[in-house]
């Protein structure tokens, strides 16, 4: 699949592809002996209309066979390639608070192709310690280590007051994509990929929905 095809896939389709991929991987792990899956079956298991599934998968090229369906391993492999998961991405984690610690020891990332190879914090009691074999470095070495290891993805898990400054430093160091877990909005230059997740906001939204529906 060429870059042009990847670039024209809508964001919502990409989100659904990740769900399809997880179910396909489940089928491969189960090894049920069934090598094919139809759009109806995939839609039923992922709770999407079969027409939406067919439209999403058509973005990947001509993969399915009429009245037979999609070869599970080939479809999974193609989706992984589109998502950039056919290779391993080195990741830098900045901030080793409670959330950062949980991320540092979570092995699910490696199964998805993301490996935390550098961890940074400014707490002198944490610096020098290891989390799952990765030494916590002083944040003053971010630029040096990011450049040295050619890291392109970073996770920011620092207090909100330090988040923008941290993002600026990461970008200057060569980071191209940031997952922001700090409870604040970040401003980044064009060309930098940014995704933010604020768990508190999500909970507040749920709280609002519960109050609204009383």
* Structure letter (DSSP) for residue 87: S
Tokens of 100: 């950062």
Any domain includes 213: no
Judge whether 163 and 184 are in contact, CB under 8 Å.
yes
Tokens of 4: 């042009």
DSSP structure string for 25-62: HHHHHHT-S--EE-HHHHHHHHT--HHHHHHHHHTT-S
Chain centre distance of CA 7: 17
Residue ranges of alpha helices (H) inside 114-190 are: 142-149, 160-173
Any domain includes 208: no
Q: Do 135 and 72 share a structural domain? A: no
What is the reported pLDDT for 210? 87
What is the reported pLDDT for 23? 94
Chain centre distance of CA 148: 23
What is the reported pLDDT for 84? 87
Q: Which of 82, 111, 142 is the last residue of a domain?
A: 82
What is the reported pLDDT for 7? 54
Q: What is the pLDDT along the chain (214 residues), one digit of tens a residue?
A: 444 445 578 888 999 999 999 999 999 988 877 899 999 999 999 999 999 999 999 988 888 777 789 999 999 999 999 988 888 999 999 999 888 888 887 778 888 889 999 999 999 999 999 887 899 999 999 999 999 999 999 999 999 999 999 999 999 999 999 999 998 999 999 999 999 988 888 888 888 788 877 7
pTM: 0.80
C-alpha pair distances (Å), 139 with each of 56, 77, 96, 145, 189: 42, 37, 11, 10, 22
Give 204's contacts (C-beta < 8 A, 6+ positions apart).
Answer: none
**What is the CATH classification number for the domain harbouring 27?**
1.10.10.10
Chain centre distance of CA 34: 29
Number of domains composing the chain: 2
The DSSP bridge partners found for residue 36 are: 71
Q: What residue numbers bound the domain in which 77 lies?
A: 3-82
Q: What is the maximum alpha-carbon separation in the chain?
A: 63
The residue written with tokens 């027409």 in the block is 51
Tokens of 23: 């179910």
What is the reported pLDDT for 2? 44
Q: Do 93 and 78 share a structural domain? A: no
Q: Do 188 and 119 share a structural domain? A: yes
Q: Do 96 and 142 share a structural domain? A: yes
Q: Do 134 and 67 share a structural domain? A: no
What is the reported pLDDT for 181? 93
């Amino acid at each position: 699949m060429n870059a042009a095809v990847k670039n024209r896939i809508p964001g919502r389709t990409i989100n659904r592809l990740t769900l399809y991929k997880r179910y396909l991987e489940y089928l491969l792990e189960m090894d049920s002996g069934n090598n094919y899956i139809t759009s109806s079956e995939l839609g039923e298991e992922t709770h999407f209309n079969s027409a939406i599934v067919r439209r999403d998968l058509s973005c990947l090229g001509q993969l399915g066979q009429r009245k037979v369906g999609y070869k599970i391993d080939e479809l999974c492999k193609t989706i992984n390639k589109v998502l950039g998961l056919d290779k391993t991405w080195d990741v830098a984690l900045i901030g080793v608070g409670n959330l950062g610690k949980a991320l540092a020891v979570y092995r699910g990332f490696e199964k998805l192709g993301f490996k935390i190879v550098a961890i940074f914090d400014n707490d002198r009691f944490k610096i020098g310690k290891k989390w799952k074999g990765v030494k916590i470095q002083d944040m003053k070495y971010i630029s040096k280590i990011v450049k040295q290891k050619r890291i392109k993805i970073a996770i920011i898990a620092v207090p909100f007051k330090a988040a923008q400054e941290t993002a600026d430093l990461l970008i200057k160091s060569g980071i191209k994509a940031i997952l922001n877990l700090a409870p604040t909005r970040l401003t980044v230059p064009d060309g930098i990929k940014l995704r933010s997740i604020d768990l508190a906001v999500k909970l507040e939204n749920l709280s609002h929905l519960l109050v609204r529906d009383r």
